[in-house]
Amino acid sequence: MSHPSTGKFAPQAADQPPLRTNTLPFGQFIEPETDDEIINVHAVIQHMDVLLRVPTISKAAVMPDACPSGSTPGTIPVGGVVATKDAIHPGFHSADICCSMAVTFFKRNDAVADMLDASVASTHFGPGKRSVSEVGKNKELAQLIDKFEKNFFLKGLEAHAEQHFMTQGDGNHFLYIGETESDHRRALVTHHGSRGLGAQVYKRGLAAAQKHTAIHAPKVPMHNSWIDANSDVGAQYWEALQLVREWTKLNHFAIHRKIALRLGNAITDQFWNEHNFVFLRDGLFYHGKGATPSFSGFSPDDTGLTLIPLNMAQPILIASHADRADALGFAPHGAGRNLSRTAHLRRLMEEFKADARGLSPNNIAEIVARETKGLDIRFFTGKPDISELPSAYKNAEQVASQIEKHKLAHISERIMPLGSIMAGDMNWNRAGR
């Protein structure tokens, strides 16, 4: 028998779990209001229907911010949560392992421009890496990297862990400055994942999963393949995920610490949460692909609070756990994209009657100004990435009200926006310009 994806011969294993002929019911907490949202929900449900035929899956849910994440049928949507038995699916947490949110609160309320200046000088956005190593200065990082040697999935990735440290990448990764709504405490929030390190671990994990699944369940397509959690490979992969998680946490807080030092300001509180990760709970592996855990003890660092961003001009929600059973104990991780990057750009080009050369610098300045009024918004490349402006995302208030209505989490505080930094235009949207 040949594997449908690899085309290679694979022996038929006696214990082969078949693909289910029927899908499973799953928790749906997504309520479309506009035509775009109706199309979006339809696509999400179609993907879930195919996905839930994978035999390792016990239960699943989609959050209010769900949107498709690829065109191959059965690709887990962003905003999807899938619980599996004895199986870890790299495709369900995807390449940006441990994409996460982290907040630091400061003692003194410095001027927003000073905080952003200190941030620009302390972090790095965009592809690529740092030329100056932090390993000599950061004992925890050095100790973490020392553990790589013994792990099959991390061995040889030491340079990635070193060179990508204190970088944040591109796309919708951001650094946000805000102030708590209730007591006006100044906050610094970052959003990023495990950078090149996680991407390499994912690649290796997916290869191991394909190898296993081609033998044990050859009808399961490549993107839904899994690693046997009870095997040695499974134990190694689980350990690699935990070490990648540690790296990501160090990365967030090393950036925060550098900014605090540069400002000469004291840190009063910090917490963080993963929203792209695998969580082990009562013997099941909960894969959150863009979903915020909302249950106690989701990680060894759980403080009972999580962060849910919406867009650069809206508050970041601070939520406490609700642990709704049919939502599998998860809440949304954001507002979710309204439209694909290309569709969003196309709409703006239509609005501004742009020709094949694309939006002019004046058009772009006008769009940025109208969407970010009163905020200090900076782009690391110096050029705005209009695909990341608030209009690219779903209605923030609608998502927040769905969180409360469905009791997916309890919103206990809001960090009101003051300014932010993102990578900026990376040339992807030059098409047609």
Shortest Å, Cβ 40 to ligand LQESDW3C: 13
H-helix or E-strand spanning residue 59 = strand 57-67
Q: CA-CA distance, 68 to 75, in Å (whole number)?
A: 8
Q: Between β-strands 409-422 and 174-180, what pairing exists: parallel, antiparallel or unpaired?
A: antiparallel
Beta-carbon contacts of 141 under 8 Å, excluding residues fewer than 6 positions away, are 134, 135, 161, 162, 165, 247, 250, 254
Residues 76, 192 contacting (CB under 8 angstroms): no
Q: What residues between 81 and 100 interact with Mn ion by CB under 5 A?
A: 99
78 binds ligand LQESDW3C (CB under 6 A): yes
Q: What 3-state class would DSSP assign to 307?
A: strand
414 touches ligand LQESDW3C (CB under 6 A): no
Cα–Cα distance between 231 and 234 in angstroms, integer?
5
Binding part of the chain for ligand LQESDW3C, among 258-266, 280-288, 295-303, 308-316 by CB under 6 A, reads 308-316
**Amino acid in position 244:** V
User: Residue 388 touches which of ligand LQESDW3C, Mn ion, none (CB < 5 to 8 A by kind)?
Assistant: ligand LQESDW3C
Q: Is 335 one of the binding residues for ligand LQESDW3C (CB under 6 A)?
A: yes
User: CA-CA distance, 234 to 281, in Å (whole number)?
Assistant: 16
In whole angstroms, how close is the CB of 349 to ligand LQESDW3C at the nearest point? 21
Instruction: Tell me the closest approach of the beta carbon of residue 426 to ligand LQESDW3C, in angstroms.
Output: 14
- Token pair recorded at residue 56: 């390792």
CA pair distance 187, 420, nearest whole angstrom: 11
x/- letters, 88..117, toward ligand LQESDW3C (CB under 6 A): -----------x------------------
Could you give the CA distance from residue 129 to residue 166 in angstroms, rounded to a whole number? 9
Query: DSSP assignment, residue 334?
Result: S
Among 311, 338, 372, 402, binds ligand LQESDW3C (CB under 6 A): 311
Pseudo-torsion of CA 329, 333, 337, 340, nearest 10°? -90
Amino acid in position 162: E
For the CB of residue 192, give the shortest distance to Mn ion in the complex, in Å: 8
Contact 107, 405 (CB under 8 A): no
Kindly state the smallest distance separating residue 15's Cβ from Mn ion, in Å.
36
Among 10, 29, 52, 65, binds ligand LQESDW3C (CB under 6 A): 65
Task: Identify which of residues 87 and 101 has a Cβ nearer to ligand LQESDW3C in the complex.
Answer: 101
Q: Closest separation between CB of residue 310 and ligand LQESDW3C, Å?
A: 5
Each residue 99-118 as x (binds Mn ion by CB under 5 A) or -, in order, gives x-------------------
188 binds Mn ion (CB under 5 A): no
Task: Give the footprint of Mn ion on this chain (CB under 5 A).
Answer: 99
Which residues contribute to the site for ligand LQESDW3C (CB under 6 A)?
65, 78, 99, 172, 174, 176, 275, 290, 309-312, 316, 333-336, 388, 393, 420, 422
